[in-house]
Every structure is written in C-alpha cells, then in structure tokens.
Amino acid sequence: MVTGLKAEWLAPVFAEIVTPGATLAIGAPETVALFKEGCGEPGVNRTAYLEFQVDDIDAEYRRLKDKVSLVHEIKTMPWGNKTFMFRDPDGSAVSLYMPVTDGAKQRFASR
C-alpha cells in the first residue's frame, strides 16, 4: 500500500518489493525461524525505522492518514525533511519524507 508496488511472492512465507533504490524483504514468522529460531520477535522494534522518499508528501499523507496507525502528523524536521510516521501491522515504524529546504534538496540531488 505504501509503495504502490506489488510484492513478488518467492515462497509462501517470503516476498520482496523491488524499488529503484532498494528491495524490501517481507517474511512471515516461519521465515525468521529459517535464519535462526527465535532471532526475531514481532512487535518489539522501537529503534529502527523504514524510510521512503516520496515526491509529494502532502498527497501521500492524505492518501494514507486514515489507513495507518499514525505515530506523528506531518511536520518538518530540523534537517529539512517534511515527514510523517506510522506503524506497520507488526509495529515497526515507517516514515515517508520529502526534502523541502534547500539544504535537504541539495543532499538528495546527487542520489
């Protein structure tokens, strides 16, 4: 729903969403056990965030705000990104952002 891309299911318990800049791997609880039993625990992540740069943060906010559990409303951060954050179904923090200040735009221009 966030990326607008369809996940490709490579196995019944594993999928990938491939974007131009990264691949997001999505695994079921059974997938984690394939790495090492007990190495992942749903709903306990409070320190790592998934961030996606978007072209129109206001449009994305309007599209998603009533469909997700918001952590914070849309705001501009001190480093120049306009952002909002929500939690995915597993409780992980997801942030969409757009550079809005000249400094932030310059940082991302070469990427």
* pLDDT value of residue 92: 86
Each domain of the chain, given as residue ranges in start order, spans 1-40, 47-111
Fold classified for 47-111: 2,3-Dihydroxybiphenyl 1,2-Dioxygenase; domain 1 (3.10.180)
| CA-based end-to-end distance of the chain | 24
Query: What are 21-79's pLDDT values in tens digits?
Result: 888 888 887 887 787 777 777 777 777 788 999 999 999 999 999 999 999 999 999 99
Is-above-0.75 flag for pTM? yes
